């Protein structure tokens, strides 16, 4: 069976790759068995509001059809890989390489057009108010298609801080464009079958997109920088009731 793999990387640190990867995995899990493979499982679990024990590294259930894991198992129809920073890649990833660019940031654009490094197949913009660069500027300068715009949003940030991203995802209007893109991307993913989730063959959506956005030369680079998610300011995880109260009071 043909399976879908999407590797999500931040163009620079702090551009929101972990949040975009988690949201894409949650959207995909609505129609197909999905696993979110994270380079930092503990951080991704915190972002999703999941309590995990120190040192836990096995498959962690997120929803009925989504698991969080450190390494791909090959058992799911869709694999979303949160791979950190673009410069951290050391080998060509399978499937679609999706870059996350916040701002749009001039330094991020400079990274995209640098002579060395992997080139994303498509971009998600995490848009900040007041930036001088536009979506069109990003496409014109980088030559890479922007597939979704996501606003930097206090509502999304508070949902993550309260551990409610999973339960509130479909009500977050600031992620609507990403949801639309995910719906199109995973339209041909294997549907969930209660008896055999992986029984139906389906074409890989990553291989049916425009050649202009999927076929670019990729080479390795040597820089190492950390990756942070879209604003995640708190680590205190109280009860669900306390989380709801904090969110309503914010």
Q: Are 62 and 36 in contact (CB under 8 A)?
A: yes
pLDDT at 191: 59
pLDDT at 6: 93
Domains of the chain: 4-220+229-249 (3.40.50.300)
pLDDT at 54: 58
Give me the tens of pLDDT residue by residue for the chain, a chain 250 residues long.
Answer: 346 899 999 988 888 899 999 999 999 998 889 999 998 888 888 889 887 665 556 788 898 899 898 888 888 999 999 998 888 888 888 889 999 999 898 888 888 887 567 889 999 999 988 888 989 999 999 999 999 998 888 888 888 888 888 888 888 888 888 889 988 888 766 555 444 433 333 333 333 333 333 333 443 334 333 333 334 333 343 444 444 434 444 4
Strand arrangement, sheet containing 122-127 = 60-63, 66-69, 34-38, 78-85, 4-10, 96-103, 122-127, 146-151
- Residues with Cβ within 8 Å of 149's Cβ and at least 6 positions away in sequence, in order, are 124, 125, 127, 135, 177
pLDDT at 21: 93
Separation CA 89–CA 73 (nearest Å): 20
pLDDT tens-digit readout, 211-220: 333 333 443 3
Ramachandran bin of 117, using left for φ above 0, alpha for ψ from -120 to 50, beta for the remaining angles: left
pLDDT at 227: 38
């Amino acid at each position: 069976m043909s399976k879908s793999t999407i590797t999500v990387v931040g163009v620079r640190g702090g551009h929101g790759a972990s949040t975009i990867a988690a949201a894409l995995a949650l959207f995909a899990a609505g129609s197909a068995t999905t696993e979110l493979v994270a380079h930092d499982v503990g951080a991704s679990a915190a972002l999703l509001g999941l309590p995990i024990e120190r040192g836990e590294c096995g498959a962690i259930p997120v929803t009925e059809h989504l698991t969080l894991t450190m390494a791909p198992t090959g058992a799911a129809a869709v694999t979303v890989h949160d791979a950190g920073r673009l410069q951290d890649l050391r080998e060509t990833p399978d499937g679609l390489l999706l870059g996350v660019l916040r701002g749009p940031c001039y330094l991020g654009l400079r990274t995209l057009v640098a002579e060395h490094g992997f080139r994303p197949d498509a971009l998600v913009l995490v848009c900040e108010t007041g930036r001088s660069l536009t979506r069109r500027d990003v496409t014109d300068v980088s030559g890479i298609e922007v597939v979704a715009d996501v606003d930097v949003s206090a509502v999304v940030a508070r949902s993550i801080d309260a551990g409610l991203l999973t339960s509130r995802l479909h009500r977050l209007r600031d992620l609507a464009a990403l949801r639309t893109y995910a719906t199109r991307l995973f339209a041909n993913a294997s549907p969930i079958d209660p008896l055999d989730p992986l029984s139906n063959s389906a074409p890989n959506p990553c291989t049916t997109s425009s050649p202009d956005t999927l076929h670019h030369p990729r080479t390795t680079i040597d820089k190492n920088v950390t990756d942070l998610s879209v604003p995640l300011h708190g680590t205190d995880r109280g009860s669900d009731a306390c989380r709801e109260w904090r969110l309503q009071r914010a």
